[in-house]
Amino acid sequence: MKLEIEETKPLADRIRPESLDDFVGQGHIRNRIEAFTRSKRLPSLLLFGPPGCGKSTLALLLANLTGKKFLRVSAPEAGLTALRKRLPGHDILILDELHRFSKAQQDFFLPILETGEITLLATTTENPSFSVTRQLLSRLHVLRLRTLSREELLEVAHRGAKELGIELEEDSYKLLAAMGGGDARTLLNLLEYTAELPRDKRAPEQLRDSLPEIVVRGDRDADSHYELASALIKSIRGSDPDAALYYLACLLESGEDPRFVTRRLIISASEDIGLADPQALGMANACHQAVETVGLPEGVIPMAETTVYLALAPKSNSTYAAYRTAQKEVRENGPKPVPLHLRNATSALQREWGYGRGYLYPHNFPKAWADQEYLPSELKGRVFYHAKEQGEEPRLTAWLRQFKRRR
């Protein structure tokens, strides 16, 4: 009976390590982990990292090493009322997905951690700076776990295959590790699927066609959402179309809202390309409208086209930089009065005050340019916009420079 129960358990649970020596990965924090095991009292910890990197396994190992009674619950399933009833008699609480508790619910742990009544070993996939209250975070030691490397996943795959009693070609192990994407749980699920295939389907080429399509995990509230978007924009800014396309695919394959992506492209067209190629903004806007019209999957076509165009376009942030400079002036010194000659005189009294007096209408002058001041007198001669010698910008500013030289 016990053997039957074991065989029905997920492979990840069946090969879960029982000692730190068997724990795979996270070499960058091994010294800290070992220091915790040697301390007289295990401190409360927050284990932060991507799915399948070993957060819960490490929490269980540390709890077991203390020899104390512990309770393991998952935040989405554990209401505070039920948790209060279950906690008495336990020294350690392993709480998975702490970020699923609201900020108000997280306050429940403050007094019991302050008194040492319980040791909390919490896990989260979300950046604790945003998902955990400052008060609770100050009472926890944060350990950031990393995605498992290809070599570490290979080690996990060999262990899993041994447990399942199967043997694979090394290239098949490498294929499974690649498809695992740094997530040991995903890898082991694929391995279990592989074990159910006929032997002739387990060779690398046949296995590639037999495995289920992997859905890339994406969480719009997690770090990866913003990290991928940042990488997309920085790849465009750096004029690398290959990297930009890769991060575009990562975003879309993770289930990202395509409108979020097209809005980022519109921003990039203005911020990073600007007047070096004024058509870029129009193209990004057209892409946004096209995606709204056709949706997915066809919407990836204009998104890919626009992404490559923006990456290849000449770059200039001169207009954005100019605005930030003007913004700084206003914020630091406040807005100055508009010169009288630029004000509209809509009443006799305003005309008496001098509103509009002396204004030169540019269209009445050659090339529609009149030599007059537009900035407030206190800012006369101040320059906010500095043109760059990129793309179309020199052409767009050439006509203005000829007048500036005459002044």
Instruction: Tell me the pLDDT tens digit for each residue of 369-399.
Output: 888 888 898 888 888 988 888 888 888 888 7
* C-alpha–C-alpha distance, residues 312 and 301, integer Å: 17
The predicted pLDDT at position 220 comes to 45
306 and 203 in a single domain? The answer is no
Using the 3D structure, point to which of 104, 120, 144 is the last residue of a domain. Answer: 144
Residue 6 in any domain: the answer is no
298 and 272 in a single domain? The answer is yes
CA pseudo-torsion sign 76, 80, 82, 83: positive
160 and 125 in a single domain? The answer is no
**Average per-residue pLDDT for the chain:** 86
At 58, which CATH number? 3.40.50.300
Give how many domains the chain has, as a whole number: 4
Residue 10 has pLDDT above 70, yes or no: yes
Residue 375 in any domain: the answer is yes
At 160, which CATH number? 1.10.8
Q: What proportion of the chain, given as a percentage, has pLDDT over 90?
A: 33
350-380: b or e for each residue (b if 16 or more CB lie within 10 Å)?
Answer: eeeeebeeebeeeeeeeeebeeeeeeeeeee
44 and 126 in a single domain? The answer is yes
Residues 6+ apart with CB under 8 A from 349: none
164 and 128 in a single domain? The answer is no
Q: pLDDT band at residue 219, thresholds of 50, 70 and 90?
A: very low
360 and 286 in a single domain? The answer is no
Q: pLDDT band at residue 68, thresholds of 50, 70 and 90?
A: very high
Residue 5 has pLDDT above 50, yes or no: no
Higher pLDDT among residues 275 and 39, named by residue: 275
205 and 157 in a single domain? The answer is yes
The stretch 51-78 carries a mean pLDDT of 89
Q: Which two structure tokens, joined as six digits, stand for 79?
A: 């209401």
400 and 358 in a single domain? The answer is yes
Residue 14 in any domain: the answer is no
Using the 3D structure, point to which of 187, 210, 233 is the last residue of a domain. Answer: 210
The predicted pLDDT at position 407 comes to 53
Residue 216 has pLDDT above 70, yes or no: no
258 and 183 in a single domain? The answer is no
Residue 325 in any domain: the answer is no
Q: pLDDT band at residue 348, thresholds of 50, 70 and 90?
A: confident
* SS3 assignment, position 376: coil
Residue 18 in any domain: the answer is no
129 and 96 in a single domain? The answer is yes
Residue 172 in any domain: the answer is yes
* C-alpha–C-alpha distance, residues 78 and 179, integer Å: 32
Q: pLDDT band at residue 6, thresholds of 50, 70 and 90?
A: low
Residue 327 in any domain: the answer is no
Q: What proportion of the chain, given as a percentage, has pLDDT over 70?
A: 94
Residue 118 in any domain: the answer is yes
Using the 3D structure, point to which of 111, 127, 144 is the last residue of a domain. Answer: 144
At 299, which CATH number? 1.20.272.10
Q: Other C-beta atoms within 10 Å of 278: how many?
A: 15
By residue range, what is the domain housing residue 89?
A: 26-144
Are residues 123 and 57 in contact, defined by beta-carbon separation less than 8 angstroms?
A: no
SS3 helix, strand, coil % of the chain, rounded to 5? Answer: 60, 5, 35
* C-alpha–C-alpha distance, residues 325 and 388, integer Å: 16
User: Residue 334 has what DSSP assignment?
Assistant: -
- Which range among 155-159, 199-203, 231-235 shows the weakest confidence by mean pLDDT? 199-203
Of 47-56, 105-114, 266-275, where does the model show the most confidence?
Answer: 266-275
pLDDT digits (tens, 9 = 90+) for 291-339: 988 888 889 999 999 999 999 999 999 999 999 999 999 888 888 888 9
